A and B are shown apart, each in its own frame.
Chain A
Amino acid sequence: MSETIDLGLRIVDRQVIDSEDRRCGKVDDLALEGGPGEALEVVAILSGPDVWRTRAGLVGRVSAWLGGGGRVRVPWDEVADVDVHVKLRKRAHELGLGRGDDRLRPFIEKIPDADR
């Protein structure tokens, strides 16, 4: 990682992958902390349709509604690396990510030949 990175260009909207390289969401926004006069610190990644509400006005609110809401907060300490993807230290389900796939999987598994 280089010493400084442009958060908007290099982290927000990046693909998030878990410790097993499974794709499990995008960095929809970042949570920053810091009082007046202090340096801001990135404390968490925010992911999920609810995050779009604050990012994209009416379009965001409509898509958050369509996407069924939901927001996951992944503490920055769980980020292992930032390169072309944002890689996490744990598996997706341990952090509450990738739930949509987990919910649909039982239905797909019922179709013959689904696991080849």
Chain B
Amino acid sequence: MKIFQVALGILAAIGGFVDIGDLVFNVSAGATFGYQLLWVVVIGVVGIIVYSEMCGRVAAVSGKAVFDAVRERMGFKVGLMTLVAAQVVNLMTLTAEVGGVAICLQLLSGLPYRWLIVLAGIAIAVVVWVTSFEWIERIFGYGGLCLLVFAVAAVKLHPVWGAVGHGFVPHVETESPLLYAYFAVGLLGAAMTPYEVYFYSSGGVEEQWGPKDLGLNKANAMIGYGLGGFLSFALMIVGGSLFLDKGIEPEFLGSIAIGAEVPLGQIGLLLAIVGILFAVGGAAIDTLFSGAYNLAQFLGWEWGRYRAQTGAPRFTVTWIVLLVLAVGAVMTGVDPVQLTEYAVIFSAVALPLTYIPILLVANDRSYMREYANGRLANTLGLIYLAVIGVISLAAVPLLILTNVGQN
């Protein structure tokens, strides 16, 4: 029974791995560089495994979620700046995901986009209000599994497998190295989305994980995120097989879905749109809660979805306000796909701010005891500290130099 439950959790994690950032960056990277950047996705996926395993372990052993650790380790002033940076990126991401939900609803229904933005906002609020956390995770995780259609599409498009294999070997073979670097930073930023980690660690605290759950934590991180990474590969392979050298830039979520329609017909298109709908819808809920978790944890408010809404009023009001802000922002007509690019790049900039405190706490034996980082976790932790530092510094210059990837 236990194994069955773990398996269900992992399935949900796979379906929940992909969000609008992964969709946009993986397919665009494929359309621009073919399979060449697959190796970067591997680095990104291992990165999110390392980061989330550490956060989950800190949550299980010390009962501290990410912004508890940030506040304790960085103090009020630097912690506050970290909070502001994280919340800005989070709200951008939330806006993009809500816009993504509205786009999918439009593709499915053909109704006017503006109505569907409001409908998307209301639907998200109602789902969050009436559904238990467990069911939210299941509904959106399993719905997101429709994205597996891209794995079938990737095979059906008959890519040159030798070239795909070569893509997993780190190499730089291009006449536009800046654009290549921009996509590399974007892919890493999209794979290591911090909101997933805020959400994951807060969920661990809410479920009252203890040291006995460390195995579950490891399995969730390694298998859930690891297999979720396969969806990223599939998206890039589809992008590379279908759009490369054809002058097609997948600028719309609809064109990403066409990646499944070409080899699989109408049913492929439908599954792709439904998969994208659940993936971005689930991500919208995750980011929504992450924003409320972060603020509440930084200020010491009561928080949590497992308590009734009345148990944590400021937390509840925070997510409602965030949702209203995001719906309002989408209504201004901002393009969700473009916004996603900015959100992913700025999230790469801010990544060290939340990564460093977690790395410090995970090493603090005074409350991590024997569960503090061992040699492997620290070696990986330090390697990724360097990776995150480099992408953080390179992100904005590359954004400007490549004109947001347009070159």
Q: Are B63 and A105 in contact (CB under 8 A)?
A: no
Q: Are A98 and B71 in contact (CB under 8 A)?
A: no
Contacts of B129 in A (CB 8 A): 111, 113
Q: Are B77 and A60 in contact (CB under 8 A)?
A: yes
Contacts of A113 in B (CB 8 A): 129-130
Q: Are B71 and A13 in contact (CB under 8 A)?
A: yes
Looking at the assembled complex, report how far the CB atom of A52 sits from the nearest CB atom of chain B, in whole angstroms. 6
Point out the residue from B72, B75, B77, B310 that lies within 8 Å of A108, measured CB to CB: B310
Looking at the assembled complex, report how far the CB atom of B250 sits from the nearest CB atom of chain A, in whole angstroms. 40
Stretch from B102-110, B300-308, B392-400 forming part of the interface with A: B300-308
Q: Are B63 and A114 in contact (CB under 8 A)?
A: no
- Closest residue of chain A to B300, judged by CB? A26
Contacts of B314 in A (CB 8 A): 100-101, 104
Q: Are A111 and B76 in contact (CB under 8 A)?
A: no
B241 within 8 A of A: no
B170 within 8 A of A: no
B138 within 8 A of A: no
Compute how far the CA of A108 lies from the CA of B310 in the bound complex, rounded to whole angstroms. 6
Interface of chain B residues 54 through 74 with chain A (CB within 8 A): 62-64, 68, 71-72
Q: Are A98 and B63 in contact (CB under 8 A)?
A: no
B309 within 8 A of A: yes
B363 within 8 A of A: no
- Closest residue of chain B to A98, judged by CB? B302
Q: Are B64 and A84 in contact (CB under 8 A)?
A: yes
Are A25 and B77 CB-contacts (below 8 A) given A84-B64, A109-B310, A116-B308?
no
Mask, A13-41, CB within 8 Å of B = 1, is: 11110000011111010000000000000
Are A13 and B308 CB-contacts (below 8 A) given A100-B314, A104-B317?
no
Compute how far the CA of A106 lies from the CA of B76 in the bound complex, rounded to whole angstroms. 30
Q: Are A101 and B308 in contact (CB under 8 A)?
A: no
Q: Are A84 and B367 in contact (CB under 8 A)?
A: yes
B316 within 8 A of A: yes
Contacts of A47 in B (CB 8 A): 300
Contacts of A98 in B (CB 8 A): 302
Mask, A49-66, CB within 8 Å of B = 1, is: 000100111011001000
Interface of chain B residues 308 through 350 with chain A (CB within 8 A): 308-310, 312-314, 316-317
B79 within 8 A of A: yes
Contacts of B367 in A (CB 8 A): 83-84
B169 within 8 A of A: no
Please list the 9 inter-chain residue pairs (A to B) with the smallest Cβ-Cβ separation, ordered nearest first: A26-B300, A104-B313, A56-B77, A25-B300, A114-B309, A23-B302, A115-B308, A101-B313, A105-B313
Name 26 interchain pairs, CB-CB below 8 A, sorted by A: A9-B72, A10-B366, A15-B64, A15-B68, A23-B300, A23-B301, A24-B300, A24-B302, A25-B299, A25-B300, A47-B300, A55-B77, A56-B76, A57-B77, A84-B64, A85-B63, A100-B313, A102-B313, A104-B313, A104-B317, A105-B313, A108-B309, A111-B129, A114-B309, A114-B310, A116-B130
Given known contacts A23-B302, A57-B77, A108-B316, what 16 new A-B pairs fall within 8 Å (CB)?
Answer: A13-B75, A52-B76, A59-B80, A60-B76, A60-B77, A83-B367, A84-B64, A100-B314, A101-B314, A102-B313, A104-B313, A105-B313, A108-B313, A111-B129, A114-B308, A115-B308
